[in-house]
Amino acid sequence: MKAPFKLNPLLGENRGMLSIKPRFSPEPKYLHGQTNKTAVLFCNLGTPESPTPKALRRYLAEFLSDPRVVEIPRWLWLMILHGIILRIRPAKSAKKYASIWTPNGSPLKVWTETQAHALQSELEQTPHSNASNPIIVRYAMRYGHPNIGSQLSVLRDEGVTRVLILPAYPQYSATTTASLFDSVFLWGTKSRQIPEFRFVNHYHDHPSYIEALATKVQAHWSSKGRSEKLLMSFHGIPERSLHLGDPYHCECHKTARLLAEKLGLSKNDYIVTFQSRFGKAKWLEPYTEPTAKSLAEQGVKSIDVICPGFTSDCLETLEEIAMEVRETFIHAGGTEFNYIPCLNDSNVWIKALAKLAQENMQGWPASGTQNDKDRQASKQNALAMGATE
């Protein structure tokens, strides 16, 4: 009996009814002699597309389904997530997002995009870049859009062969940094030709980062005066993560200590706290809001609050700290609550980001350093071997 089709096992050519989809994504058309490019992918956590229950449900479903974020038996957590949380939390969260939403969208997305553009401009002035073929800077979100995989695909299509993954998280945690790297690796499992990657794990103690934080605090004190206490509020994670070896807690405290030293503070001048607790499990302590309340009840009338772990203002800083914690402090007897904004697009922070990028790209050739003569020679050799372009 004659077979209805004939399949070339090497090329996967379809000569009949059978069609085989490539397991790995096809590569963009390659032009021999093209310039190799370098890119920085600046990655943040993510944000909903709009301050609506529908958008929050979609965002929270992706965020809270990540096993790096909630580390309990999956079958149990998914029942809780879809049976309870996603039925209640989206509407509550939407109201909070609406209170800080801007005409240009989510503050976190606005600031992250602004930082990426500023970083590209700063890197164009460095030896790693080339005027005719500068380092490309893109931003991506771990959850929401533009996601990491889609941005890596765009960079691949633009001819990028080297990518530095630069998280917006100064302190490493499996709940954030490792999850971000998971997303990069997942994209790689579906790709045919993987670019050369480098990853910045953390920069919690980098002198330029500490300098940027100190400059922010000093500028606030110069214009508004200094309060009785400085609260350094970091995002919390479950205490269990600390006991399992997550370095986040230690890195937060090191950041705080180095910032205090830079500002000339004594141990009695500042307090390290943790915010954004989710669920009933014990998280890193002390918690920010109860600490602010306790200070007011003890007679402290004024506090300054900075969130060193957040490099862009977002829901957790603008709503949770600047609104909720402020109200708690004032209601408990405090009189002056000053929230110090995140690093955002401050000049000293953009320069710090550029320095981080340059240090982690050391050893890579400057973008587009191969000269035209070498590229043309490479192209001619390829054409002589049968290449068409």
Per-residue pLDDT of the chain (389 residues; tens, 9 = 90+): 444 444 454 444 455 556 788 888 787 776 655 688 999 999 999 999 999 999 999 999 999 999 999 999 999 999 999 999 999 999 999 999 999 999 999 999 999 999 999 999 999 987 766 766 789 999 999 999 999 999 999 999 999 999 999 999 999 999 999 999 999 999 999 999 999 999 999 999 999 999 999 999 999 999 999 999 999 999 999 999 999 999 999 999 999 999 999 999 999 999 999 999 998 899 999 999 999 999 999 999 999 999 999 999 999 999 999 999 999 999 999 999 999 999 999 999 999 999 999 999 999 987 555 555 655 555 556 556 655 65
Q: Which residues pair with 41 in a beta bridge?
A: 138, 165
Per-position DSSP letters for 231-267, written without gaps between them? EEEEE--BHHHHHTT--HHHHHHHHHHHHHHHHT--T
Residue 304 included in any domain: yes
User: What is the β-pairing status of strands 136-143 and 37-46?
Assistant: parallel
Residue 326 included in any domain: yes
The answer to whether residues 53 and 104 belong to one domain is yes
Full-prediction pTM beyond 0.95?
no
Task: Give the range of the structural domain holding residue 105, as residue numbers without chain letter.
Answer: 37-203+346-360
Residue 128 included in any domain: yes
The answer to whether residues 65 and 184 belong to one domain is yes
The answer to whether residues 275 and 352 belong to one domain is no
Question: Both tokens of residue 16?
Answer: 């009949």
Return the CATH number at 286. Answer: 3.40.50.1400
The answer to whether residues 49 and 157 belong to one domain is yes
In degrees rounded to 5, what are phi and psi of residue 27? -80, 155
Would you state the pLDDT for residue 24?
Answer: 84
The answer to whether residues 350 and 336 belong to one domain is no
Per-position DSSP letters for 263-295, written without gaps between them? HT--TTSEEEEEE---SSS-BSSSBHHHHHHHH
Would you state the pLDDT for residue 126?
Answer: 77
Instruction: Report the C-alpha gap between 304 and 266 in whole angstroms.
Output: 15
The answer to whether residues 65 and 45 belong to one domain is yes
The answer to whether residues 213 and 134 belong to one domain is no
Instruction: Report the C-alpha gap between 35 and 371 in whole angstroms.
Output: 9
Question: Both tokens of residue 37?
Answer: 């490019």
CA terminus-to-terminus distance, the chain: 43
The answer to whether residues 53 and 170 belong to one domain is yes
Instruction: Report the C-alpha gap between 86 and 71 in whole angstroms.
Output: 18
Instruction: Report the C-alpha gap between 70 and 89 in whole angstroms.
Output: 16
Residue 377 included in any domain: no
